[in-house]
């Protein structure tokens, strides 16, 4: 999908111009303070480039779910203060994202200044993609830059409608996300592998269905693998599964076979009678899961097979952990597979892209978060892209 980038905007000149930057400042907080700066840190390249070029950088974002009401606890003021600390410079703040207060703050800006406008979701029109709200926000700027891929799956006033009212561009983070995803599913180097884990098949039906027809190897782990094993007639003891999706699982298996996609399901699993840290466990073939036990992780033979196959791949997309990684020793498969993928990436033989759900936490736990080619923090938008869906915030940038 063609879209203009920050390079195009900077080439046209931004000195003294008002640039509305749609960011994702919906960051974790604790006791009124930002507890994870990752999203703010990833936003800084776009802000620094625009500011250095003399733009007046006006940051738009939602925060939490105020449902169109002004909720003091959901103000972006503390986030603006955290952004200032990350940037190492002053960041202004306006008590609203439209109207006289926003206009006053923007009018007082000098070239290079940065301000954050108040939570866009304080207005009910934001989530309705209201044209009037979009026009009021657009009136504050001369150009629009979307650097919030993580919010691009929502057709909201500050992500979709506004992009049709001003010259629109992708920021550095948005550009990196789109290029990374294009590399794994747009025009990938083959063979392509996908690792999909997590608890429920039901949350990833579209994802599995889309990948089965587009990749060469689909490896399924996590509790969702139990549903596939049960659908094949295996007894899985007390393992978490979704009995009503057995037929769906069989359809996905058939779709993969028809597309020539190799499907890797567990050969052996780590089982225990309870899910707790350092619980007694055993490793058994999938055909021998005890009736009173739960499968909580992939076994070593399965991981051996996965790593051997990854060594023949050129591209990998990973979504979801392979076991209950938060509770050792049921993190072994996730950690070992992640480290293996990181080593192949470092060797230059594998392009690895991961994201969505618990994936970031799982890779951080494995100590390889910075060793993959690209790790997305976008969550729902990352998943919807992998499902083959059009993201309104991205489509709007293509004109």
pLDDT, average across residues 161-176:
96
Catalytic residue among 39, 121, 204, 336: 39
Which pLDDT score, from 0 to 100, does residue 126 have? 97
* Close Cβ partners of 153 (under 8 Å, ≥ 6 residues apart): 380, 381, 384, 385, 389, 391, 392, 393
Catalytic residue among 48, 77, 135, 200: 200
pLDDT, average across residues 118-127:
98
Model confidence at 165: pLDDT above 80: yes
Q: For residue 365, which of 346, 342, 344 has the smallest C-alpha distance?
A: 342
Cα dihedral: 368, 374, 378, 379 (round 10): -50
Catalytic residue among 92, 356, 357, 379: 357
52, HSE (Cβ side, Cα atoms, 13 Å): 9
Q: For residue 205, which of 182, 185, 228 has the smallest C-alpha distance?
A: 228
Higher pLDDT, 327 or 388: 327
What is the tens place of the pLDDT at every residue in 258-289?
A: 999 999 999 999 999 999 999 999 999 999 99
pLDDT, average across residues 225-249:
96
pLDDT, average across residues 49-57:
98
What is the tens place of the pLDDT at every residue in 345-356?
A: 999 999 999 997
What is the tens place of the pLDDT at every residue in 89-101?
A: 999 999 999 999 9
- In the residue annotation, 54 being an active-site residue is answered as no
Model confidence at 399: pLDDT above 80: no
Catalytic residue among 54, 112, 209, 380: 380
- In the residue annotation, 380 being an active-site residue is answered as yes
Q: For residue 73, which of 29, 38, 105 has the smallest C-alpha distance?
A: 29
Please state the three-class secondary structure of the chain as a single string: CCCCEHHHHHHHCCCCCEEEEECCCCCCEECCEECCCHHHHHHHHHHHHHHHCCCEEEEECCCCCCCCCCCHHHCCHHHHHHHHHHHCCCCEEECCCCHHHHHHHHHCCCCCCEEEECCHHHCCCCCCCCHHHHHHHHCCCCEEEECCHHHCCCCCCCCCHHHHCCCEEECHHHHHHHHHHHHHHHCCCCCEEEEECCCCCHHHHHHHHHHHCCCCEEEECCCHHHHHHHHCCCCCCCCCCCHHHHHHHHHHHHHHHHCCCEEECCCEEEEECCCCCCCCEEEEEHHHCCCCCEEEEECHHHHHHHHHHHCCCCEEEEECCCCCCCCCCCCHHHHHHHHHHHHHHHCCCCEEEEECCCHHHHHHHHCCCCCCCEEECCCHHHHHHHCCCCCHHHHHHHC
pLDDT, average across residues 39-65:
96
Q: Over the chain, what is the mean pLDDT?
A: 95
In this structure, are residues 193 and 310 in contact, taking their beta carbons and an 8 Å threshold? yes
The band of 386, judged by pLDDT with boundaries at 50, 70 and 90, is: confident
Of all residues in the chain, the percent with pLDDT exceeding 90 is 83
The band of 84, judged by pLDDT with boundaries at 50, 70 and 90, is: very high
Q: For residue 174, which of 153, 192, 157, 194 has the smallest C-alpha distance?
A: 153
In this structure, are residues 204 and 357 in contact, taking their beta carbons and an 8 Å threshold? no
Model confidence at 1: pLDDT above 60: no
- In the residue annotation, 70 being an active-site residue is answered as no
Model confidence at 357: pLDDT above 80: no
Model confidence at 328: pLDDT above 60: yes
- In the residue annotation, 200 being an active-site residue is answered as yes
């Amino acid at each position: 999908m063609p879209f203009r980038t920050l390079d195009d905007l900077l080439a046209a000149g931004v000195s003294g111009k008002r640039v509305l930057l749609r960011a994702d400042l919906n960051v974790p907080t604790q006791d009124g303070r930002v507890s994870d700066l990752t999203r703010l840190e990833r936003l800084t390249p776009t802000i620094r480039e625009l500011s250095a070029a003399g733009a007046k950088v006006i940051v738009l974002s939602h925060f939490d779910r105020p449902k169109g009401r002004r909720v003091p606890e959901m103000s972006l003021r503390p986030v603006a203060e955290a952004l200032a600390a990350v940037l190492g410079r002053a960041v202004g703040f306006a008590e609203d994202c439209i109207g006289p207060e926003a206009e006053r703050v923007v009018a007082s800006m000098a070239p290079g200044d940065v301000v954050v406008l108040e939570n866009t979701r304080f207005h009910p029109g934001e989530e309705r993609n209201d044209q009037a709200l979009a026009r009021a926000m657009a009136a504050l700027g001369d150009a629009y830059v979307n650097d919030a891929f993580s919010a691009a799956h929502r057709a909201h006033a500050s992500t979709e409608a506004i992009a049709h009212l001003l010259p629109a561009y992708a920021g550095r983070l948005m550009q990196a996300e789109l290029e990374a995803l294009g590399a794994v599913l747009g025009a990938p180097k083959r063979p392509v592998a996908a690792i999909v884990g997590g608890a429920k098949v039901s949350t990833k039906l579209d994802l599995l269905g889309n990948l089965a027809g587009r990749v060469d190897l689909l490896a399924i782990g996590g509790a969702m693998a139990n549903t596939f094993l049960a659908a094949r007639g295996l007894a899985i003891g007390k393992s978490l599964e979704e009995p009503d999706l057995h037929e769906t699982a069989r359809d996905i298996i058939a779709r993969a076979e028809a597309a020539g996609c190799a499907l890797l399901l567990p050969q052996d699993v780590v089982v225990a009678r309870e899910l707790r840290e350092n619980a007694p466990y055993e490793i058994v073939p999938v055909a021998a899961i005890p009736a009173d036990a739960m499968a909580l992780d992939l076994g070593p033979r399965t991981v051996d097979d996965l790593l051997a196959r990854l060594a023949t791949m050129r591209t990998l997309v990973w979504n979801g952990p392979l076991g209950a990684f938060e509770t050792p020793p049921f993190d072994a498969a996730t950690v070992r597979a992640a480290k293996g993928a990181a080593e192949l990436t470092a060797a230059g033989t594998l392009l690895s892209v991961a994201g969505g759900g618990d994936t970031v936490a799982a890779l951080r736990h494995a100590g390889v978060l910075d060793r993959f080619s690209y790790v997305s923090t976008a969550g729902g938008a990352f998943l919807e892209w992998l499902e083959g869906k059009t993201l309104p915030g991205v489509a709007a940038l293509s004109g």
